[in-house]
A and B are shown apart, each in its own frame.
Chain A
Amino acid sequence: MTTIGNNGVAASKTNTQPLWLLAEVTYRCPLHCAFCYNPTDYDKHTQNELTTEQWIQALRDARKMGALQLGISGGEPLLRDDIEDIVREARKLGYYSNLITSGVGLTEKRIQEFKEGGLDHIQLSMHDITEEINNFITNTKTFELKKKVAAMIKGHGYPMVLNVVIHRFNIGHIKEILEMAEALGADYVELANTQYYGWSLINRSQLMPTKEQIDHAEMITNEFRQKVGNKMKIFFVVPDYFSDRPKKCMNGWGEVFMIVTANGDVLPCHSARVLPGMAFPNVKEHGLEWAWKESPAFNKYRGDDWMKEPCRSCPEKEKDLGGCRCQAFLLTGDAESADPVCTLSPNHHLIEKAIEDAKNPQLQAQPIVFRNDKNSRRIAAGEAPELVKEFHALP
Chain B
Amino acid sequence: MTTSVNPADIYSLARHYRFQWEEAQQCYVLLFPEGMIKLNGGAGEVIKRVDGNKTVAEIVIELQQAFPDAPDIEADILAMLQLALEKAWLEKRN
Q: Which residues of A contact B20 (CB under 8 A)?
A: 94
* Shortest CB distance B38–A (Å): 9
* Interface assignment of B36: CB less than 8 Å from any CB of chain A: yes
Q: Contacts A17-B24, A94-B20, A187-B16: A68 and B29 contacting too (C-beta < 8 A)?
A: yes
Complex Cα–Cα for A233 and B33 (A): 11
* Shortest CB distance B70–A (Å): 29
From 55 to 100 in chain A, residues with beta carbon under 8 angstroms from any chain B beta carbon are: 64-66, 68-69, 94, 96, 98
Q: Which residues of B contact A187 (CB under 8 A)?
A: 16, 33
Complex Cα–Cα for A66 and B36 (A): 13
* Interface assignment of A229: CB less than 8 Å from any CB of chain B: yes
* Interface assignment of B72: CB less than 8 Å from any CB of chain A: no
Complex Cα–Cα for A98 and B16 (A): 12
Q: Contacts A19-B36, A65-B24, A96-B36: A121 and B16 contacting too (C-beta < 8 A)?
A: yes
Would B22 and A159 count as touching, CB distance under 8 A? no
* Interface assignment of A120: CB less than 8 Å from any CB of chain B: yes
Complex Cα–Cα for A96 and B22 (A): 12
* Interface assignment of A329: CB less than 8 Å from any CB of chain B: no
Complex Cα–Cα for A223 and B18 (A): 30
From 178 to 231 in chain A, residues with beta carbon under 8 angstroms from any chain B beta carbon are: 187-188, 190, 229-230
Q: Contacts A66-B24, A68-B29: A229 and B1 contacting too (C-beta < 8 A)?
A: yes
* Interface assignment of B25: CB less than 8 Å from any CB of chain A: yes
Would B24 and A120 count as touching, CB distance under 8 A? no
Would B31 and A69 count as touching, CB distance under 8 A? yes
Q: Which residues of A contact B29 (CB under 8 A)?
A: 68
Contacting residue for B22 out of A66, A123, A190, A230, CB 8 A: A66
Complex Cα–Cα for A119 and B34 (A): 14
Contacting residue for B25 out of A64, A66, A120, A230, CB 8 A: A66
Complex Cα–Cα for A190 and B25 (A): 28
Complex Cα–Cα for A98 and B24 (A): 21
Q: Contacts A121-B16, A187-B16: A69 and B24 contacting too (C-beta < 8 A)?
A: no
Complex Cα–Cα for A159 and B16 (A): 7
Give 5 closest A-B pairs by Cβ, nearest first.
A66-B24, A96-B31, A159-B16, A230-B88, A121-B33
List the interface of chain B (C-beta within 8 A of A).
1, 15-16, 18, 20, 22, 24-25, 29, 31-36, 88
Q: What are 13 residue pairs bridging A and B, where the CB atoms are less than 8 Å apart in the complex?
A: A17-B24, A19-B36, A68-B29, A69-B31, A94-B20, A96-B18, A96-B31, A96-B32, A98-B34, A120-B33, A159-B16, A159-B33, A190-B34
Given A68-B29, A159-B33, 14 other A-B residues pairs in contact with their CB atoms under 8 A = A66-B22, A66-B24, A68-B31, A94-B20, A96-B18, A96-B31, A96-B36, A120-B16, A121-B16, A159-B16, A188-B34, A230-B88, A233-B88, A235-B34
